[in-house]
């Protein structure tokens, strides 16, 4: 996932990385169940970048000029970061773009995305409904322009200050003929999620992470877990109709294992004195993607820290029923959030 932090220097996170701001003195305001709510009227607006990119019928002169005018900052990300078709001063950018859309391999990928996602309306409706809830929960926050694109098998979700783009080539189903040809090979635990049902959850998660992901360089494991859990809690509020497996990326069996072993997992973190560990390699064992989590049975999911973080945030919100999503996501002292959650699972 490529996440462009909308308030700081842009940063990039790895493929499907579920890496997972005002200091509060207390949580007041609206009741939690009034933070979001039913959405009856939804405006659907989606721009199809990949269709414009491969189309000649809409061009009146320069492909570069046409796309940059219509897509602005996202076009720059596509050309300079995703495809590296040239630098900003390149006089050959139109020539490079034409070569890209004429390449038989890229044409085949484009054809596959259009065969599966010629009609993107259903996903646009569901994403728009989530952003209606987001708009209500976070008044004044930017609502992005929704785009579809091809990401040359790099990123499923791309965010900048104005756009949320879905890389359709990352959702062609695990059996797609393209995926086995990629180098380095995609691990099975990632490939299993490269299907249409993850589009909506991945899109909203990416937008939330681009604003609220923890600063890895300044965080300990507890902060990383709570940060990831906070995104999961917010995601559940914004997408109440989505399954927990889609929001978390865990399988149903992994979700069951987590629920049955919550106390043991927490005891492991406590007894191993891991909560305040700041070593990046150590932290990523518990909040990074993987087929399973190091130190736990093979039935456990990767990113097990996300599950514990969610449970901590859930406990905090249960103990602070008037705390709104905006207040929750704005908290900067995540150690304080943990202490005030009074989280203590049964052993």
Residues 117 and 78 in one domain: yes
pLDDT at 62: 86
| pLDDT at residue 304 is higher than 70 | yes
pLDDT digits (tens, 9 = 90+) for 68-83: 999 999 999 999 899 9
| pLDDT at residue 31 is higher than 50 | no
pLDDT digits (tens, 9 = 90+) for 131-145: 999 999 999 999 999
Taking Cα atoms as reference points, which of 82, 206, 79, 207 lies closest to residue 144?
A: 207
Q: Which two tokens stand for residue 247?
A: 């929001």
| 41 compared with 13, residue with greater pLDDT | 41
Is residue 197, in this structure, part of any structural domain at all? yes
Residues 126 and 275 in one domain: no
Residues 44 and 164 in one domain: yes
Alpha-carbon gap, residue 71 to 79, rounded angstroms: 11
Cα of 81 vs its chain's centroid, Å = 18
Alpha-carbon gap, residue 344 to 125, rounded angstroms: 39
Is residue 311, in this structure, part of any structural domain at all? yes
Residues 336 and 281 in one domain: yes
| pLDDT at residue 28 is higher than 80 | no
Residues 14 and 112 in one domain: yes
Residues 190 and 219 in one domain: no
Q: Which two tokens stand for residue 21?
A: 């701001």
Is residue 252, in this structure, part of any structural domain at all? yes
| pLDDT at residue 316 is higher than 70 | yes
Average pLDDT over residues 36-40: 50
pLDDT at 256: 97
Residues 106 and 122 in one domain: yes
N-term to C-term CA, the chain = 35
Is residue 28, in this structure, part of any structural domain at all? no
Is residue 124, in this structure, part of any structural domain at all? yes
Q: Is 268 exposed, middle or buried (0-12, 13-18, 19+ CB in 10 A)?
A: middle
Residues 6+ apart with CB under 8 A from 118: none
Average pLDDT, the chain: 87
In this structure, the chain runs to a length of 347
pLDDT at 347: 74
| pLDDT at residue 306 is higher than 90 | yes
Out of 148, 182, 210, pick the residue that ends a domain: 210
Residue 114's domain spans which residues? 2-22+37-210
Residues 42 and 106 in one domain: yes
Is residue 29, in this structure, part of any structural domain at all? no
Residues 63 and 148 in one domain: yes
What is the chain's Cα-based Rg?
A: 21
pLDDT digits (tens, 9 = 90+) for 228-277: 999 999 999 999 999 999 999 999 999 999 999 999 999 999 999 999 99
Q: What is the 3-state secondary structure (H, E, C) of 274-318?
A: CCCCCCHHHHHHHHCCCCCCCCCCCCCCCCHHHHHHHHHHHHHHH
Residues 139 and 282 in one domain: no
Average pLDDT over residues 304-309: 98
Residues 16 and 153 in one domain: yes
Residues 241 and 200 in one domain: no
Is residue 27, in this structure, part of any structural domain at all? no
- Going by pLDDT thresholds of 50, 70 and 90, the confidence category of residue 26 is very low
pLDDT at 134: 97
Q: Please, are residues 147 and 74 in contact by the beta-carbon 8 Å criterion?
A: yes
- Going by pLDDT thresholds of 50, 70 and 90, the confidence category of residue 16 is very low
Out of 185, 210, 235, pick the residue that ends a domain: 210
Average pLDDT over residues 10-17: 32
| 252 compared with 184, residue with greater pLDDT | 252
Average pLDDT over residues 89-116: 92
| pLDDT at residue 8 is higher than 80 | no
Out of 176, 210, 244, pick the residue that ends a domain: 210
The lowest-confidence range among 60-69, 105-114, 279-288 is 60-69
Output the pTM of the full model.
0.87
Average pLDDT over residues 36-56: 76
What's the count of helices (H) and strands (E) in the chain, helices before strands?
15, 5
Is residue 30, in this structure, part of any structural domain at all? no
Q: How many domains does the chain have?
A: 2
| pLDDT at residue 2 is higher than 60 | no
| pLDDT at residue 19 is higher than 60 | no
pLDDT at 91: 77
Average pLDDT over residues 122-128: 96
């Amino acid at each position: 996932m490529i996440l462009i932090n909308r308030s700081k220097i842009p940063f990039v996170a790895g493929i499907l990385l579920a890496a997972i701001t005002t200091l509060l003195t207390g949580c007041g305001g609206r009741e939690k169940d009034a933070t979001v709510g039913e959405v009856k009227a939804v405006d659907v607006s989606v721009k199809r970048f990949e269709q414009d990119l491969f189309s000649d019928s809409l061009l009146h002169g320069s492909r570069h000029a046409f796309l940059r005018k219509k897509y602005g900052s996202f076009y720059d990300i596509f050309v300079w970061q995703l495809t590296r078709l040239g630098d900003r001063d390149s006089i050959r950018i139109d020539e490079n773009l034409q070569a890209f859309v004429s390449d038989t391999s890229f044409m085949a990928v484009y054809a596959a995305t259009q065969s599966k996602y010629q009609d993107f309306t259903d996903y646009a409706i569901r994403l728009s409904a989530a952003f209606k809830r987001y708009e209500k929960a976070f008044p004044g926050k930017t609502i992005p322009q929704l785009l579809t694109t091809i990401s040359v098998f790099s990123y499923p979700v791309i965010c900048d200050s104005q756009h949320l783009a879905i890389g359709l080539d990352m959702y062609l189903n695990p059996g797609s003929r393209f995926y086995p040809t990629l180098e380095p090979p995609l691990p099975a635990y990632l490939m299993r999620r490269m299907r249409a049902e993850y589009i909506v959850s991945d899109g909203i998660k990416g937008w939330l992470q681009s604003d609220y992901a923890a600063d890895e360089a300044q965080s300990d494991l507890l902060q990383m877990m709570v940060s990831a859990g906070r995104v999961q809690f917010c995601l559940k509020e914004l997408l109440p109709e989505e399954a927990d497996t889609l929001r978390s990326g865990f399988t149903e069996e992994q979700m069951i294992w987590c629920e049955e072993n919550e106390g043991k997992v927490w005891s492991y973190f406590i007894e191993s004195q891991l909560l305040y560990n700041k070593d990046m390699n150590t932290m990523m064992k518990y909040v990074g993607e993987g087929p399973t989590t190091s130190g736990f049975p093979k039935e456990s999911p990767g990113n097990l820290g996300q599950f514990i973080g969610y449970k901590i945030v859930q406990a905090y919100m249960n103990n602070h029923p008037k705390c709104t999503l905006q207040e929750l996501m704005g908290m900067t002292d995540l150690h304080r959030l943990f202490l005030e959650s009074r989280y203590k699972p049964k052993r």
